[in-house]
Amino acid sequence: MSVIDDFLNFLHASPSSYHAAAEVAARLEAAGFERQDEKKAWSAAPGGHVMVRGGAVLAWFVPENLGADSGFKIIGSHTDSPGLSVKPNPDFRTAGWNQIAVEIYGGPLLHTWFDRELTIAGQLVTKDGTQHLVNTGPVARVPNLAIHLSRESTFEPARQAHLQPVLSVNDENSLWSTIAEDAGVDASDIAAFNLITADSQKGAVFGGSEQFIAAGRMDNLSSVHASLVAFEAAAKEYTGSDVLVMAAFDHEEVGSGSRYGAAGPILEDVLTRTAAALGLDAEGLRRMYALSSCVSADAAHSVHPNYVGKHDPGHHPIIGQGPVTKVNGNQRYASDAASIALWESACQRAGVPYQRFVGNNDVPCGTTIGPLTATRLGIDTVDVGVPMLSMHSAREMVGANDQVWLGQALKAYLVG
């Protein structure tokens, strides 16, 4: 199977952060990684280990030849994407329609969520504490208002009134019963859930010479998948002495402030417990940090041909010309000269082209997990990602070659 086919399958299997974390863990376990239970004694035995916390997944590979000069080589990404999250009391009726109560998660391009067949996906917990993954398939839609009934020149939907999806009409169907059926449980046994909408359409390759990929959730599953591919490959051939780490966090789109977000303790927990299991004290851990580095991988902005003026005139990263190094003088990205050189050296070793992004002074850029992990741990960090159009749309666009190249460069970073 090609990398792109594998990527499309991964996207389709990951409609929510919980599914993405489970998919990564399952693949690594199939590759021989040991599943770590946080409630049990920590393992830092040579070989691969993987842990899931909520919608986040972390993996670490301990080499045989660990030494005094060993550090951590970390790849960070995030599993969540913007969308419409389901409210705790989801079912209501309007004029005979059964609808789903939702709130906006992150910063989606709202107009792109209309007139798409949506799946409802995420985690359901029953009263006995058992966790279930839910993926209903296409069951809901946010329908547009016909142009004959709305002559406004701009599209500005009311966030509370106009974004509630329809589920069915003139029947007794409910989201509660729909998710119970999907999980194979009785509706009365459901205690709570974390659910979000996702575009149910599978990703596709298109364009001349199959240059492009269109799909939902590529911000940031493009980085999660490339990290996974790199980590799988590196674990098979790694001969170095650093501990390799893959950290795919949740809740980046809403600020990362959770127990499994990048602003929370999850990465530090893994690094601290791994160092302790290796017999290191606090001083030894800090020495490892000083010898460590992190590549924060998240989607980057390609120059848009219809909005060229939104970009810095001297920095025009474009789809199809390689992964992007993201730079910001105000520390919206963590990249500095040393970490940029580290990353771009890895690209060169992999034979991968690369380019750089810096924002237009009149158009403030976003941020990602890089500054959070760098600030929290003091580890050298660089922010990178594949160039993308339609970022935060229900269906985004990247380059097929860029996706392959990102995985190759990340592997070179790990093994080089």
- Residue 154 lies in domain: 83-199
Based on the fold, state whether residues 277 and 402 are members of the same structural domain: yes
Hey, is 19 helix, strand or coil? Answer: helix
Hey, is 226 helix, strand or coil? Answer: helix
pLDDT the model gives residue 366: 86
Structure tokens at 50: 């993987």
Q: How many CA atoms lie within 13 A of 190 on its CB side?
A: 25
Based on the fold, state whether residues 224 and 143 are members of the same structural domain: no
Based on the fold, state whether residues 42 and 142 are members of the same structural domain: no
Tell me if 194 is assigned to some domain.
Answer: yes
Tell me if 237 is assigned to some domain.
Answer: yes
pLDDT the model gives residue 257: 94
Over residues 259-306, the pLDDT tens digits come to 999 999 999 999 999 999 999 999 999 999 999 999 999 999 999 999
Hey, is 220 helix, strand or coil? Answer: helix
Tell me if 210 is assigned to some domain.
Answer: no
pLDDT band at 364 (very low <50, low <70, confident <90, very high): confident
Hey, is 29 helix, strand or coil? Answer: helix
Cα distance between residue 79 and residue 81, in whole Å:
7
Residue type, 31: A
Based on the fold, state whether residues 226 and 179 are members of the same structural domain: no
Beta strands in 358-412 (DSSP E): 380-385, 387-389, 396-399
Based on the fold, state whether residues 61 and 99 are members of the same structural domain: no
Over residues 136-147, the pLDDT tens digits come to 999 999 999 998
Torsion of the alpha carbons at 22, 60, 39 and 282, rounded to the nearest 10: -150
pLDDT the model gives residue 49: 98
pLDDT averaged over every residue in the chain: 96
The stretch 104-111 carries a mean pLDDT of 97
Predicted confidence (pLDDT) at residue 386 exceeds the cutoff of 80: yes
User: Any residues with CB less than 8 A from the CB of 313 and at least 6 apart, and which?
Assistant: none
Lowest mean pLDDT among 71-80, 104-113, 337-346, 364-373: 364-373
300 φ, ψ to 5°?
-120, 165
CA 123 to chain centre: 16
pLDDT the model gives residue 152: 78
Predicted confidence (pLDDT) at residue 112 exceeds the cutoff of 90: yes
Q: Give the number of residues written for the chain.
A: 416
How many other β-carbons are positioned within 10 Å of the β-carbon of residue 200?
21
Based on the fold, state whether residues 226 and 338 are members of the same structural domain: yes
User: With pLDDT > 90 as the criterion, what percentage of the chain qualifies?
Assistant: 94
Tell me if 295 is assigned to some domain.
Answer: yes
Over residues 12-46, the pLDDT tens digits come to 999 999 999 999 999 999 999 999 999 999 999 99
The stretch 388-412 carries a mean pLDDT of 98
Cα distance between residue 200 and residue 138, in whole Å:
6
Based on the fold, state whether residues 112 and 26 are members of the same structural domain: no
Tell me if 381 is assigned to some domain.
Answer: yes
Tell me if 265 is assigned to some domain.
Answer: yes
pLDDT the model gives residue 153: 74
- pTM of the entire structure? 0.97
Cα distance between residue 156 and residue 136, in whole Å:
29
| Matching residue, tokens 């970390």 | 74
Tell me if 142 is assigned to some domain.
Answer: yes
The stretch 319-348 carries a mean pLDDT of 96
Based on the fold, state whether residues 184 and 40 are members of the same structural domain: no
Of 137, 171, 199, which marks where a domain is finished? Answer: 199
Based on the fold, state whether residues 342 and 232 are members of the same structural domain: yes
Predicted confidence (pLDDT) at residue 1 exceeds the cutoff of 80: no
Based on the fold, state whether residues 20 and 147 are members of the same structural domain: no
Based on the fold, state whether residues 72 and 156 are members of the same structural domain: no
Of 199, 232, 261, which marks where a domain is finished? Answer: 199
Predicted confidence (pLDDT) at residue 322 exceeds the cutoff of 80: yes
Based on the fold, state whether residues 56 and 136 are members of the same structural domain: no
b vs e for 110-119, b when ≥16 Cβ sit within 10 Å of the residue's Cβ?
A: bebbbebebb
User: Any residues with CB less than 8 A from the CB of 261 and at least 6 apart, and which?
Assistant: 56, 249, 250, 251, 252, 255
Tell me if 204 is assigned to some domain.
Answer: no
Predicted confidence (pLDDT) at residue 124 exceeds the cutoff of 80: yes
Over residues 207-255, the pLDDT tens digits come to 988 999 999 999 999 999 999 999 999 999 999 999 999 999 999 999 9
pLDDT the model gives residue 6: 98
Please give the tally of structural domains in the chain. Answer: 2
How many other β-carbons are positioned within 10 Å of the β-carbon of residue 46?
10
